[in-house]
């Protein structure tokens, strides 16, 4: 079963907003064995939408469209659906009752005609009821292709995908199994990893595919298997991971299904019932931002001090001024003091600290551009490592963030 995801909105095309809907939909469909054929972003133009529908007709089994279902005049998806399916809009009484209750009961204001128009749907569509918003989803089939229209508001789209679309697809379509397993590696670049595992990669069975997913300071290796027998796929994936581990066990730091490193670290911290804090200079709070992006992070993340200026390290983190003067603000000694002091300040088990020169200019310190010191305070002491991440500035910050998380993960894993 093949699917195409279409996002409608000029705001996406001009870069005003980032399309996160396609990523969520593709992951959700992949989990149930639906192959994503392509992703498209198109303008709020009736003819463009119609041309896109015609191009996709009978070339894929499922087309999921997000956007253009709002109450304003620039939202044209419903009317365009009617044109494509030669249908007309009618009032769905169940949707109207829901919209009325939401507007008058929850928002406590009179319902307007624009609000009522949200209950207009093509007469022949299957309505996907949106319990968290006013715009219903619409499911319509033409020849061999199903077209599904979803609101562009992310939380409304997610509700409909999880509660309406996925159950309906699972019930009505036969699909193969698709399994993914991702191996997390740190410390070596993509080309070096590829060279080390070339023989293993060349020997993979035809139904198992390998993809390299490089990021600053890390490379994820994603194994994907597709077939009709789930047990065979699972057994082969585990077999290949065992073979791979024998080759590059020195750089493998973990495995994930869909989880990112910040999710994995959160799970480890929760499992061991330990906490962490950060003291960030050159990374500017980016480590804390990643850690707190995970739901439930408050159970293990206590807080952060972004001591970007030198004086803040002295005033807030109590780094001795004499230490800064003797070793410079970008040094192992300062990083160590930052980590130990924020650990004490936040009363945590672990604490990460970063100080460095991200560039693009050298500034007033002695450190080379790209130099970063990362410290990790643990229950047993402090670990400090020095790196030079080169340039540009964004690369230095990204690599410092992920290297910090790598160091933290490796230390926590010692006690698993």
Classify domain 2-172 at the CATH superfamily level.
MoaB/Mog-like domain (3.40.980.10)
β-sheet bridge partners, residue 386: 373
CATH 3.10.129.10 for the 261-413 domain, yes or no: no
Helices (H), 278-331: 286-292, 310-315, 321-327
25: phi then psi, degrees, rounded to nearest 5: -65, -45
Say whether pLDDT at 400 is over 60: yes
Rounded to an integer, what distance in angstroms lies between the CA atom of residue 29 and that of residue 60? 14
Nearest to 156 by CA among 41, 279, 45, 68: 68
> How confident is the model over 336-359, as pLDDT tens digits?
999 999 999 999 999 999 999 998
Rounded to an integer, what distance in angstroms lies between the CA atom of residue 76 and that of residue 202? 50
Topology (CATH level 3) of domain 177-256: Alpha-Beta Plaits (3.30.70)
What is the share, in percent, of the chain residues with pLDDT greater than 90? Answer: 72
Burial of 92 (0-12, 13-18, 19+ CB in 10 A): buried
Predicted local confidence at residue 216, as pLDDT: 67
Distances (CA, A) of 326 to 319, 330, 377: 12, 11, 22
Say whether pLDDT at 125 is over 90: yes
pTM: 0.65
The segment(s) of the chain belonging to CATH 3.40.980.10 are 2-172
What is the share, in percent, of the chain residues with pLDDT greater than 70? Answer: 96
The segment(s) of the chain belonging to CATH 3.90.950.20 are 261-413
Burial of 129 (0-12, 13-18, 19+ CB in 10 A): middle
* Mean pLDDT score of the chain: 92
> How confident is the model over 240-289, as pLDDT tens digits?
999 999 999 888 867 765 567 898 899 999 999 999 999 999 999 999 99
- Mean predicted confidence (pLDDT) in 223-243: 93
Predicted local confidence at residue 365, as pLDDT: 62
Predicted local confidence at residue 257, as pLDDT: 56
Predicted local confidence at residue 377, as pLDDT: 98
Q: How confident is the model at residue 392 (pLDDT cuts 50, 70, 90)?
A: confident
Predicted local confidence at residue 209, as pLDDT: 94
- Which one has a higher pLDDT value, 274 or 218? 274
Predicted local confidence at residue 355, as pLDDT: 96
> How confident is the model over 300-338, as pLDDT tens digits?
999 999 999 999 999 999 999 999 999 999 999 999 999
- Mean predicted confidence (pLDDT) in 54-81: 88
Residue 413 neighbours by CB under 8 Å, 6+ apart: 253, 254, 268
> How confident is the model over 279-290, as pLDDT tens digits?
999 999 999 999
Rounded to an integer, what distance in angstroms lies between the CA atom of residue 208 and that of residue 180? 10
């Amino acid at each position: 079963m093949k699917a195409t995801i279409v996002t409608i909105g000029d705001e996406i095309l001009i870069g005003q907003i980032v399309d996160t809907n396609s990523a969520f939909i593709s992951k959700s469909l992949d989990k149930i064995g639906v192959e994503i054929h392509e992703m498209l972003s198109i303008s709020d133009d009736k003819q463009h939408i119609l041309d896109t529908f015609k191009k996709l007709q009978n070339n894929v089994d499922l087309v999921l469209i997000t956007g253009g279902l709002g109450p304003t005049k620039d939202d044209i998806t419903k009317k365009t659906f009617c044109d494509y399916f030669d249908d007309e809009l009618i009032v769905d009484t169940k949707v109207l009752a829901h919209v009325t209750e939401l507007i008058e009961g929850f928002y406590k204001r009179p319902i307007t005609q624009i609000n009522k128009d949200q209950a207009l749907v093509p007469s022949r569509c299957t309505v996907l009821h949106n319990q968290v918003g006013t715009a219903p989803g619409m499911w319509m089939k033409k020849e061999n292709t199903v077209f599904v229209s979803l609101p562009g508001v992310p939380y409304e789209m997610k509700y409909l995908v999880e509660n309406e679309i996925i159950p309906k697809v699972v019930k009505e379509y036969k699909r193969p199994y698709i399994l993914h397993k991702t191996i997390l590696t740190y410390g070596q670049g993509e080309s070096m990893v590829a060279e080390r595992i070339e023989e293993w990669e060349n020997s993979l069975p035809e139904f198992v595919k390998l993809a390299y997913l490089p990021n600053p300071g890390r490379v994820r290796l994603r194994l994907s298997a597709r077939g009709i027998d789930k047990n065979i796929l699972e057994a082969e994936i585990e077999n290949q991971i065992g073979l791979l581990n024998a080759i590059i066990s020195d750089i493998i730091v973990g495995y994930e299904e869909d989880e990112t490193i910040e999710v994995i670290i959160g799970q480890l911290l929760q499992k061991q019932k330990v906490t962490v804090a950060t003291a960030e200079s050159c990374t500017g709070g980016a480590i804390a931002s990643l850690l707190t992006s995970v739901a439930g992070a408050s159970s293990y993340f206590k807080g952060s001090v972004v001591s970007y200026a030198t004086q803040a390290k002295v005033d807030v983190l109590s780094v001795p001024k004499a230490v800064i003067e003797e070793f410079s603000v970008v040094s192992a000694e300062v990083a160590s003091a930052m980590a130990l002091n924020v650990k004490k300040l936040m009363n945590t088990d672990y604490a990460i600290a970063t100080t460095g020169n991200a560039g693009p200019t050298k500034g007033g310190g002695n450190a080379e551009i790209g130099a970063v010191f990362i410290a990790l305070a643990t229950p047993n002491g402090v670990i400090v490592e020095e790196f030079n991440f080169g340039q540009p500035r964004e690369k230095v910050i990204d690599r410092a963030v992920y290297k910090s998380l790598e160091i933290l993960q490796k230390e926590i894993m010692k006690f698993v």
